[in-house]
Structure 1
Amino acid sequence: MKRIQLGNTVFEGENDAYLIEADRTTLVDTAVSIPAVRADLREGLSGHGVDFADVDAIVLTHWHPDHAGLAGEIQAEGGASVYVHEADAPLVDGRERPLAADPAVRREMFDRWGMPAEARERLTDFFERAGTDIYGREADVTPIGDGETIDLGGVTLETVHLPGHTAGLCAFAFDPRTVPGHAPVRGSGEGGTAGASARDDRPPAEAFTGDALLPRYTPNVGGADVRVETPLAAYADSLVRIVERDWDAAHPGHRERIDEPSRRAAEILDHHRDRTRRVIGVLESGPATAWEVSAALFGDLEGIHTLHGPGEAFAHLDHLERAGVLERDGTAYRLVDPDPSVDALFPSVALDATGRDL
C-alpha cells in the first residue's frame, strides 16, 4: 500500500490517496478535479509504475470533490469500477447536484443560519471561483452499504458506514497482513510493534477513514453536507463506532496516519462536548443566530470555512434544540435550560490505559 499525498488549495489541503497493488489495482479516494492536483496524482501513481488506465477499482470514502473529483476521469481511461456508499452515490454519478452548490438551497441555508449579506456574497464568490469542474466527470458507480465487502483479489475491504461529515461517509476496514507492500502497525504473534497490549491476540485490523477521523483537526459537521439530519448526533454515534471497532491504525483522507484511532475518536467526542458548552456560554448573553454563534466560536472566516463555520454552529444548536435545552424563534436560539448536563447529550466511551476500547 502506498500513500500519495496531494496538494489542494481549494479545500483543506494535503489530501491522501492510497494505492493498493492487489490482483485489482485499487485507489482509495482520488482528488479534486483541478489541473495541478490531477498532475500530482498522475506523478504519484507513475512513481509506482501505474497510470490512470491501469486502475481497476476506485473506492471512495465519500462524495466530496477533494476525494471523488477524479473518479470519473480515471474510470474513463481504464474502465475502473467505482464504489461509494449508496447515500453519496447520486452525487458521484450525477443524479443529484451538491446542495450547497445550488443557489436556491444556499439562500434557504443562509436564511436559516442568519448569514449577513456580505458573508453570503463572499461565499457565493468562492463557489463561483471554484466552479463546477472541481466535481469532475460523472462516474458509473457501484453503490455499497454498511457491512458489505469489496474483493480486490487477495485484499478484502469491509464497508463501515460513519455518517456525519457526509450522509454516506464510510471507512473501509482491512487485515493489513493481506496488503502487499504494507507493514502492519501491529504485527501478529512475535515481532508485534506499536500498540502492543495484553489484548493483541486478536487479528490486526486497520481502516481507511476518509474524513470521519482526522489527525490534526475535527471534521466539519452541519455545513459539509446539509442533507444530513441531526448531523452532530449522527457523527457522535460514528465516533463511538470507531472506538468500538478498535482499529490498530486509521489511514485518513488528509495528512498522516493515526496510530491510536480509538483514542483520537474519544478526543473528538470530548471536543464536541466542550464546543457544546461554549455554545451554551454564547447564548447566556441572550438569543443568537447560527451565524452569530459561529462568529463567537471561530471569528472571521474565509473560503469554504464561511460555509463550515455557521454549519457547525447550526449542528450544535440543532442538537441542543432537540434536547430541549434551546428554543428557536425564527433564526435566533435562546436558552430555556441554562444548566443542562452536557455529558448526557452525548454517548460515552471507555478506554483502557493504552487507548483501547474497554
Structure 2
Amino acid sequence: MRTRRRAYSAQRPADLGGAVWSVPVPIPGSPLGYTLVYAVESPAGPVLVDAGWNHQDAWTALRDGLAACGVDVREVRGVVVTHYHPDHAGLAGRVREESGGWIAMHEADAAIVRLMRGMPVDSHREFQAEMMRRAGAGAEAEAVRASERPDPPAQPDRELRDGDLIDLPGRVLRVVWTPGHTPGHVCLHLEDADRLFTGDHVLPDITPHIGIYPYDRQDVDPLEDFLGSLTRVAGLGEAQALPAHEEPFADVAARAAEIRAHHEDKLLRLRDMMTGDAAEPLTIWQVAERMTWNRPWSDLAPVQRGLAAGEAAAHLRTLESRGAVRRAPGAPGDPVRFTATSQ
C-alpha cells in the first residue's frame, strides 16, 4: 500500500502560509506515527485544530513545535477537536490548563466523552469482552479484559453543530459535520482561504476505520453515514485538504470520490463472499476472518481483530440496510449471524 506517511523523526513544524501552521505530534507505539496539529492565527489569538495524544513526549513536541512557529501555547484561544479519539483529543485538556482557552467538539462526540468518563475501567473491559463474545469471538474476548484503555479526553466546554462558526475573530472557520469515523466527526472549512481541515475523514492515501460498537447494533449505519459525508465533502470542490495524518494535499473532492469507490467495491466483494457461503450463516467474527486486511488475520493482535470485527460489522450493517444480507434466526444470547438474501 502506498502511503505518504514518513517517520516521525523526519517531520518538522511547517508554515503553510495564510497564518496556518502544522505541528507533527507523535503517537507512541502507533503505526500512524504522528498527528498533524494545526494552528490558525487570528487577531484574537491562535486556535488549534486537534491537540495530539496525551503523553509527555507528545506534549513536549506540541509545545516546542508551536513555539517554533511563533505560537506560545499559553496564548492559545481554543482547541477544536475534530473527533474524540485519543490521538486528536488527548492533549486538549492540558492545552486548556496552560492557556485558559476553550475546547470545542461536536455534540455527538461530546456525549460519548461523557459516557466514557462515567464508565469505570472494569465496566469498560466487561463491555468490550461481551461485545466480542456476541460477535462470535473466542479467546480474544477474554484477552481484552487485560488490555489498557487510554484515559478519556477532557469534556469540551463548547458543543458544536453542523454549520457553526468557530470563535476565531477575523477568520471564517465553519463546522462541516462528517459522521462515520465517529458519530460527531467534523471537518472545518477555512472559507477565507478555501482550505479544509479533514481530521481523519479524508486522508491522502489511507482510509479511516469505520466500525459499529456494539457490533450487533441495528439502529445505526456508520458506513452509510460516512459515504454520505464523503459526498458532502466532495461538493466543496477542489479545496486544499489539511488532514490529521500523512500530509496536506490538493483536491479534496477527488480523494473523497476515490474513498467512496473503495468502500463500494469492498461492499460488493463482501456481498459476493456472503453469497458464496450462503449455505452457512456467518458470525461477525467469521466474516472478519474472511475479509482482506493490511496483514494476515493470524498476525493481528486481539485488539486489532476487534477493530477488524467492528469494520466487518459496519459493512454488514450497510449491506443489511440495502437488503443484501439479513440476520439469521438464533437463540437468545447466541452470537448474531448473517446470511445473504436471494436478491
Q: Same fold (TM over 0.5)?
A: yes
Q: Secondary structure at the match of 1:151?
A: coil
Q: Is 2:79 aligned against 1:61?
A: no
**Equivalence for 1:190:** none
Which amino acid counterpart does residue 26 of structure 1 have in structure 2? V
Which amino acid counterpart does residue 88 of structure 1 have in structure 2? D
How many Å separate the matches in 1 of 2:214 and 2:34?
A: 21
Residue 49 of structure 1, CA deviation: 3.2
1:254-276, Cα deviation, whole Å (9 max, x unpaired) = 11112121111111111111111
Identify unmatched segments of 5+ residues in structure 2.
Answer: 1-19, 331-335
Contact 1:157–1:174 (Cα < 8 Å) also in 2: yes
TM-score, reference length from structure 2: 0.81
Shift of the 224–267 alpha-carbon distance from structure 1 to 2, 3 Å rule, reads farther
How many Å separate the matches in 1 of 2:61 and 2:302?
A: 23
**Equivalence for 1:215:** 204
TM-score, reference length from structure 1: 0.78
- Residues 1-358 of structure 1: pairs in structure 2 closer than 5 A: 1-11=20-30, 12-23=32-43, 24-92=45-113, 94=114, 96-97=116-117, 102-117=124-139, 119-125=140-146, 127-128=147-148, 131-133=149-151, 135-136=152-153, 138-177=154-193, 205-223=194-212, 229-283=220-274, 284-285=276-277, 286-297=280-291, 298=293, 299-300=296-297, 301-302=300-301, 304-329=303-328, 330=330, 331-337=336-342
Which amino acid counterpart does residue 315 of structure 1 have in structure 2? A
How many Å separate the matches in 2 of 1:303 and 1:91?
A: 24
1:65-111, Cα deviation, whole Å (9 max, x unpaired) = 1100111111011111111111112344x454498971233134213
Residue 225 of structure 1, CA deviation: 8.9
Q: Secondary structure at the match of 2:234?
A: helix
Which amino acid counterpart does residue 304 of structure 2 have in structure 1? H
Which amino acid counterpart does residue 51 of structure 2 have in structure 1? T
Q: Secondary structure at the match of 1:155?
A: coil
How many Å separate the matches in 2 of 1:287 and 1:273?
A: 22
How many Å separate the matches in 2 of 1:214 and 1:160?
A: 16
Shift of the 78–41 alpha-carbon distance from structure 1 to 2, 3 Å rule, reads same
1:97-134, Cα deviation, whole Å (9 max, x unpaired) = 498971233134213321222x2244444x41xx433x
Q: Which fold has the larger relative contact order, with Cα–Cα distance below 8 Å and residues 6 or more apart in sequence?
A: 1
How many Å separate the matches in 1 of 2:120 and 2:289?
A: 20
Percent sequence identity over matched residues?
33
Identify unmatched segments of 5+ residues in structure 1.
Answer: 178-204, 341-358
Which amino acid counterpart does residue 260 of structure 1 have in structure 2? D
Residue 25 of structure 1, CA deviation: 1.2
Residue 290 of structure 1, CA deviation: 1.5
How many Å separate the matches in 2 of 1:249 and 1:99?
A: 39
- State the superposition RMSD in angstroms: 2.4
Shift of the 80–224 alpha-carbon distance from structure 1 to 2, 3 Å rule, reads farther
**How many residue pairs align between the two structures?**
304
Contact 2:174–2:191 (Cα < 8 Å) also in 1: no
1:194-250, Cα deviation, whole Å (9 max, x unpaired) = xxxxxxxxxxx2210101111121111115897981111111110110111214211
How many Å separate the matches in 1 of 2:213 and 2:167?
A: 30
Contact 1:167–1:225 (Cα < 8 Å) also in 2: no
**Equivalence for 2:14:** none
Contact 2:230–2:260 (Cα < 8 Å) also in 1: yes
Contact 2:86–2:150 (Cα < 8 Å) also in 1: no
Which amino acid counterpart does residue 231 of structure 2 have in structure 1? V
Q: Secondary structure at the match of 1:4?
A: strand
1:9-62, Cα deviation, whole Å (9 max, x unpaired) = 344332110011212211100011012212211221121233332211111111
**Equivalence for 2:11:** none
Contact 1:171–1:210 (Cα < 8 Å) also in 2: yes
Q: Secondary structure at the match of 1:245?
A: coil
Contact 1:173–1:208 (Cα < 8 Å) also in 2: yes
Contact 1:166–1:224 (Cα < 8 Å) also in 2: no
Q: Secondary structure at the match of 2:188?
A: strand
How many Å separate the matches in 2 of 1:13 and 1:99?
A: 29
How many Å separate the matches in 1 of 2:260 and 2:119?
A: 27
How many Å separate the matches in 2 of 1:313 and 1:43?
A: 40
Residue 142 of structure 1, CA deviation: 0.5
How many Å separate the matches in 1 of 2:220 and 2:118?
A: 16
